[in-house]
Structure 1
Amino acid sequence: MLTLLRPVGILYLSSGLLVLAQFRGHFSPRMNQIFLTPSRMINRGVGLKVEGSSFTLDGSPFLIIAGTIHYFRVPREYWRDRLQKLKACGFNTVTTHIPWNLHEPRKGWFYFTANLDFVTFVAMASEAGLWVILCPGPYVGGDLDLGGLPSWLLRDPKMKLRTTYKGFTKAVNHYFDKIIPMIVQLQYAKGGPIIAVQVENEYGSYHQDKRYLKYIKKALVTRGIKVLLMTGDDGEALTRGHLTQALSTVHMRHIKKETYDTLFSLQGRSPILMMVYTARSLDGWGTAPHFADSHMLKKEVREMFNASFSLNFYMFHGGTNFGFMGGSASLDNYLPMITSYDYGALLTENGEYTPEYFSYQDFFSFSLGIPKHPQPDSIPKATYKSVITPYYISLWDVMPYLEEPISSVKPICMEKLSVNQGSGQSSGYVLYETMIISGGLLTTKGHLQDRGQVYKNNPTLRILVENQGRLAYGQNINKERKGLIGDIYLNNSPLRKFKIYSLDMKTKFLRRDLPNIWKPVVFKHQGPAFFLGILRMGNYPRDTFIKMEGWTKGVIFINGQNLGRYWNIGPQETLYLPGPWLRPGSNEIIVFEEFKPGLQIHFTNMSHLGY
């Protein structure tokens, strides 16, 4: 059994990591937690509780050893594999977030099937012997577009996200009415694996409304959430993000004296949970990839466990920003995120073991006495024969077959387009078309978000605008409307009378009934166009990686699934193609290339992410 600790002094190491010392009694990190698993605990009493400076689970001392896996970033067919690998490494808990924007992409239209069936994911975690910490939002961050908030909220010009503004709370209440009853049935007391729920995410860093966190807590509790509630912030924001009757956890790598002092002032000698311990940070298009010092990470983790910290790895397994789910960051400038969410995690983007995985497995076994579990075999990969794309359709040839364009005197931003039953357009591209009678200087005055290309054909002026991902965090998320968000000027005069085409690149967009207008590829063609190729294979499709060598920038689809963006500026050079998304025989590949196409689509059995 783990001895409960009562620290009466502190010691600071050179790394800046706080270590508790001068304990009353002997401290040993070795423990026996093999019986504290969902399958063994049939007769449930109290769940996860704070007892002095430690956690207890059903009255027994419990150390949280957690790792984050996002079910929506992993093909459903591989959920069990990833969860079993988490357990085999020595972890006892999985943390996951619920992205509102994926579950309710259109107002009032909810999706909880296929890759969004989080109830099945949680059930699989329980079967794998894992507890669950759930982060239902409404804002979850997670480097997602708008931090996981649905973009249709921004149709309201007065919207104040993450506040008690009535337009926001009304939408949250409707969303929570749908998902919280599903979560309630998965809680510890009802035989499920959920032992804790996080209230919002890093609100102390945002802090636009003092009443907001209390509102979210009440919204959870009144709907039946009874497990331990947590908040999570970095050191300086802990006080602003603290809630009474909820445990404050830490979202940062190094804990300094000020952090511990703040935690003590908020909740006494409570257990310390490093809720977001990050191996590295996200990578953006056109930037150098981030690296992590694995030796330093191992040293810090050892020190944290020696200090009886609980810990959550963000990410244990990152997965992929399939489609357009990835957001952007705002550092020195706007930084759209790459498609891969490999994140330097203990499992690679496609679920491969890393050397760090085995290092931590050995550490958990030797230092914490956690028995090693059988490891799932590595998933086989394949290198397929390169595919030629012999046919293409220019974007201009497709336009007559798109949905009826919206006519407007002035430009309309993506979120306010009257598509998707009034929910606007959330992602992809928007094409604006107008007529001009003279040439001159075209200026945007900051009204183009994010990336626009201008085409002129006699009197027709077209502007193709791409949403590269809304900010995932920060004070400016309320401003994250995309497309043309205001007037465009020719010689300082605003342009008028637009036709606006929605190019959301969803499955319905690709599956529309088109006549046979594919034309043989002319390799001199430049400009936005769709290219068609067929990948043929045998009876057992395997994982592979697509290498768009020679192509410039665009999006690639396989059997209607949006794999995400590619861009020759790097650092990412390959796109992950899961084997379950392929089928024996013929597989349709459609590429939307914005500039200049390559000659072929290549495949490899190795990921190339620039590091």
Structure 2
Amino acid sequence: MSLLEVKGNQFIWHGEPVRLLSGAIHYFRVVPEYWRDRLLKLKACGFNIVETYAAWNVHEPKEGSFCFEGMADIVQFIQLAGELGLQVIVRPSPYICAEWEFGGLPAWLLGYPDMRLRCSDPLFLSKVDAYYDVLLPKLRPLLSTNGGPIIAMQVENEYGSYGNDKRYLEHLRQGMVDRGIDVLLFTSDGPTDEMLQGGTLPGVLATVNFGSKVEESFAKFREYRPDEPLMCMEFWNGWFDHWMEPHHTRDGTDVAQVLDDMLQAGASVNFYMFHGGTNFGFYSGANHIQAYEPTVTSYDYDAPLSEWGDATPKLEAVRHVLQKYTGETGAAQEAFPDPLPRKRYGEVRLTRRSRLFDQLDALGPRVERTHPEPMERVGQNYGFIAYTTFVNGPRRGQELWLQEVRDRAQVFMNGVPIGVVERWDPKPLKVDIPAEGAELTLLVENMGRINYGPLLRDHKGITEGVRLDNQFLYGWTIHSIPLDTLDGLSFQPIPDDAAGVAEAGPFFYEGFFEVDEPADTFIRLDDWTKGLVFINDFNLGRYWEKGPQKALYLPGPLLRQGQNRIIVFELHGPRETVVRLDDTPDLGEIASVDPSVLSFTTEE
């Protein structure tokens, strides 16, 4: 029997009524060296529980190949939380949303053309079962029923926002039970009729997600579950950012008032997020409501604890409210850990470069295809993909159409850039093909798979075809560029007269800098356009001059005492090959979140 039980409208822990005060920290968004710091700050704020998703695509990046090491060591994270006196809520749903790439689903699922996602399709269920056969036995010893800190686990995540397949939900629930999961199970959905109808299961605790309108949200929940405890499983106290939009913030006073309203109503709560962390590498997701909207590298979320672990005024406001309800027995009585050190390392000049199109065979495999294939059909998950064909000439004033480009394509003719086609603005390019013909190359960037809603099935690359006017072009060479390793690159010194680098196509730029004492810092790329940054072969994530994110957070544990290597993969060309390592972030233009949209929003 689970040590955390539901009796009537109360949670019972070891026979006594208890209120669950939880905050979300995702282990896969924080370097392991900082897990203790973030968990201690959660506890000192007044929370007694940490909540985390489990990201399937982190743990099974390739089908049948599993990873539970480093930032993927969910067992170590949970054990550490228990050692620090925190209980744990785990949400191991196959799908997590979380503004995470593909909502946590592994990209290789899209290599099965007939598979249906998030339903009782036998093929999909077989892949979930194979994953759970590995994941759940690792979690079983950590259950509270076995002396561990895990008190509850989620069956599926906001399923009512996607479907209504009860057979699917029951398969997941029964699969957890059959694999020894005997703690409290629950679902979480938005507080609307269709969401609560589609996403809940009889006999399984239901919870709701919202950011405001406490009375209204819980009233709708009570229409479906009149005799269960009230719990907001995701209290959206901040918000996330998309590229080309302002940075979102929410007033801490408003957050504190909504929290007070919840606790006054006798509810339990999980802060989404308490600490957001970072979408390192290619793991940032995307939304698509009216148009495709890719998420930035930072997942600061305007949470009480910042991306780099600093307490914010919002944290102090939240701590004050929690202390009001927990009194002298609350964790908020504990001393708050000091901020981690940050350092300014100054300018780093990148002095060597490697032209992408000279290195394609060193970066990944190539295949020959009649027509362009999306990434997943050639066994690629993330990164970039290049398509090359030869076009006969002459052709004058024709329109080059990239049919269903996902997500952003740079177009080159005989190695010279001639334009960019973007998913959110898929206009054709006017082209002239000379009499002798021309080589056409399309470099397509995967900017993150959709993580929420009916368009979840999001193949990357060129997904339909390429045509000049109405004539499709056939006969393509396809190069995968996953960038999971840069070991094969060959660098050369940048010539002194390389002022025209922006016209020469994408380059990798390399530089080195010395560190006497590793500490957190921020990489500013004020003279760069768009691309990626690698530190000691670790992919920090994307940058783009369009913002709102203006600097990349670099955690100190990724640095080494002595020499450190930085590689910038710049897609268009820098104004100057210099980056700056500063001790102050720049979050860009600020926009306030309207709390009124955070109750019945269709996004997490």
Both proteins in one fold, TM over 0.5? yes
Q: Which segment drifts farther, 69-78 or 235-244?
A: 235-244
Q: How many angstroms does 1:608 deviate by?
A: 1.0
Q: Distance in 1 between matches of 2:310 and 2:156?
A: 31
Distance 2:354 2:2 in 1: 62
Deviations 1:250-293, CA, capped at 9 Å, x for gaps: 11123566644543343332110010001122110001222212
Q: Deviations over 1:173-199 (max 9, x none)?
A: 100000011111110011100000011
Selected match of 1:500 from 461, 472, 478: 478
Distance 2:63 2:299 in 1: 27
TM-aligned CA deviation for residue 391 of structure 1 = 1.2
**Out of 532, 543, 558, which is 1:566 matched to?**
543
User: Please, which moves more after superposition, 101-110 or 369-378?
Assistant: 369-378
1:377 is paired with a residue whose SS is coil
TM-score (norm 1): 0.88
| Residue number in structure 1 paired with 2:401 | 444
Describe the shift of the 1:515–1:546 C-alpha distance in structure 2 as closer, same or farther (beyond 3 A). Answer: closer
Structure 1 residue corresponding to 2:172, chosen from 216, 222, 232: 216
Aligned residue type for 1:362: H
In structure 2, distance between residues paired with 1:79 and 1:166: 37
Cross-structure match for 2:442: 463
AA aligned opposite 1:434: T
Per-residue CA deviation, residues 124-181 of structure 1 (Å, 9 max, x unaligned), is: 1101111101000111111111100011111111121101111101100100000011
Task: In structure 2, give the amino acid aligned to 1:444.
Answer: W
Shift of 1:208: 5.0
Write the distance in 1 (CA, Å) between the matches of 2:526 and 2:365: 35
Deviates more, 1:317-326 or 1:388-397: 388-397
Which residue number corresponds to residue 409 of structure 1? 370
Please tell me the residue identity of whatever aligns with 1:494. Answer: F
Whole-angstrom distance in 1 between the partners of 2:306 and 2:566: 25
Alignment of 1:95-134 (within 5 A): 95-134=51-90
Residue 432 of structure 2 is aligned to residue 453 of structure 1: no
Q: Deviations over 1:484-509 (max 9, x none)?
A: 11221023211111111111111x2x
1:278-293 aligned within 5 A = 278-293=236-251
More strand by share: 2
- For the residue of structure 2 that corresponds to 1:219, the secondary structure is helix
| Partner of residue 542, structure 1 | 519
The letter of the residue matching 2:338 is: D
Q: Which amino acid aligns with 1:593?
A: E
Which stretch shifts more, 529-538 or 403-412? 403-412
Q: How far apart, CA to CA, are the structure 2 residues paired with 1:280 and 1:46? A: 32
Structure 1 pair 146/374, CA: closer, same or farther in 2 (3 Å)? same
Letter of the 1:488 counterpart: V
Which position in structure 2 is the counterpart of 1:551? 528
| Inter-partner Cα distance in structure 1 for 2:106 and 2:79 | 26
Question: Match for residue 531 of structure 1?
Answer: 509
Structure 1 counterpart of 2:553, one-letter code: Y
Q: Contact 1:46/1:57 (CA < 8 Å) preserved in 2?
A: no
Contact 2:351 2:493 survives alignment (8 Å): no
1:376 to 337, 355, 375: 337
Q: Give the Cα–Cα distance (whole angstroms) in 2 for the partners of residues 279 and 265 of structure 1.
A: 25
Task: Give the deviation of 1:563 after TM superposition.
Answer: 0.4
> Which region of structure 1 is more displaced relative to structure 2, 325-334 or 309-318?
325-334
Tell me: CA distance 1:87–1:358, structure 2 relative to 1, closer, same or farther (3 Å): same
Distance 1:378 1:257 in 2: 37
Structure 2 residue 256 is the aligned partner of structure 1 residue 298: yes
Q: Is the contact made by 1:146 and 1:472 (CA closer than 8 Å) also made in structure 2?
A: yes
Q: Contact 1:46–1:59 at 8 Å: present in 2 too?
A: no
- Counterpart in 2 of 1:353? 311
After superposition, the Cα gap between the structure-2 partners of 1:501 and 1:244, relative to the gap in structure 1 and judged at 3 Å, is same
The residue type paired with residue 554 of structure 2 is L
Task: For 1:246, give the aligned amino acid.
Answer: V
Larger RCO (CA under 8 A, 6+ residues apart): 2
SS in 2 for 1:444: strand
User: Please, which of 384, 398, 406 is the counterpart of residue 429 of structure 1?
Assistant: 384
Q: Aligned AA for 2:463?
A: I
Please, which of 223, 228, 241 is the counterpart of residue 184 of structure 2? 228
User: Retained in 1: the 8 A contact 2:412–2:440?
Assistant: yes
- For 1:516 and 1:383, how far apart are their aligned partners in 2? 27
Which whole-Å deviations, capped at 9, do the CAs of 1:410-465 have from their partners, x for residues lacking one? 11100111xxxxxx211110010111112453443632111111100162110000
Is the Cα contact below 8 Å between 1:100 and 1:149 reproduced in 2?
A: yes
SS at match of 1:301: helix
State the superposition RMSD in angstroms: 1.6
- Distance in 1, matches of 2:402 and 2:392, equals 21
Q: Does 1:77 align with 2:33?
A: yes
Distance in 1 separating the partners of 2:214 and 2:272: 20
Q: State how far apart, in whole Å, the 2-side matches of 1:103 and 1:520 are.
A: 43
- By how many angstroms is 1:517 displaced? 4.2
User: Which residue in 2 is equivalent to 1:254?
Assistant: 212
Q: How many residues align?
A: 556
Residues of 2 paired with 1:205 and 1:73: CA distance? 25
Question: What is the alpha-carbon distance in structure 2 between the residues aligned to residue 598 and residue 467 of structure 1?
Answer: 25
Contact 1:144/1:327, CA 8 A, preserved across alignment: yes
Q: 1:298 aligns to what SS in structure 2? A: helix
CA deviations over 1:41-82 (Å, ceiling 9, x no partner): xxxx85111122211111111100000000000011000110
Deviations 1:543-590, CA, capped at 9 Å, x for gaps = 000000110000000000000000000111000001000001111100
Name the residue aligned to 1:40: none
Structure 2 CA distance for aligned equivalents of residues 116 and 402 of structure 1: 25
**Residue identity in the other structure for 2:583:** N
C-alpha separation between the residues in 2 aligned to 1:256 and 1:92?
22
SS state at 1:603 partner: strand
Distance 1:257 1:79, change over 3 A: closer
- Give distance in 1, aligned partners of 2:85 and 2:214: 34
5+ unaligned residues in a row in structure 1: which ranges? 1-44, 418-423
**TM-score for both structures, normalised by structure 2:** 0.89
What corresponds to 1:143 in structure 2?
99
Q: Distance in 1 between matches of 2:82 and 2:4?
A: 15
- Unpaired runs of 5+ residues, structure 2, are 415-436, 591-604
Query: Distance in 1 between the 2:173 and 2:207 partners?
Result: 16
Identity %: 40
Contact between 1:393 and 1:519, CA under 8 Å: does it hold in 2? no
1:333 matched residue in structure 2? 291
Matches of 1:232 and 1:523, distance apart in 2: 55
Shift of 1:377: 1.4
Aligned to 1:6: none
1:511 and 2:472 matched: no
Q: How does 1:317-332 map to 2 (within 5 A)?
A: 317-332=275-290
The yes-or-no answer on 1:66 pairing with 2:22 is yes
**Distance (whole Å) between structure 2 residues aligned to residue 415 and residue 404 of structure 1:** 13
* CA drift at 1:206: 0.6
Is this contact kept in 1: 2:402–2:462, CA < 8 A? no
The counterpart of 2:154, out of the listed 194, 198, 205, is: 198
1:396 to 357, 360, 385: 357
Alignment pair present for 1:489 and 2:444: no
Query: How far off is 1:400 after superposition?
Result: 4.5
Aligned to 1:580: 557
Deviations 1:505-528, CA, capped at 9 Å, x for gaps: 11x2x012x455454461321121
Retained in 2: the 8 A contact 1:431–1:503? yes
Matches of 2:2 and 2:567, distance apart in 1: 53
Distance 2:399 2:144 in 1: 60
Q: Aligned to 1:557, what secondary structure does the other structure show? A: strand
Q: Name the CA distance, whole Å, in 1 between partners of 2:453 and 2:370.
A: 33
Give CA deviations for 1:291-312 in whole Å, capped at 9, x if unaligned: 2122221111111111111001
Bigger mean CA deviation after superposition, 114-123 or 526-535: 526-535
State the match for 2:44 in structure 1: 88
Q: Secondary structure at the match of 1:368?
A: helix
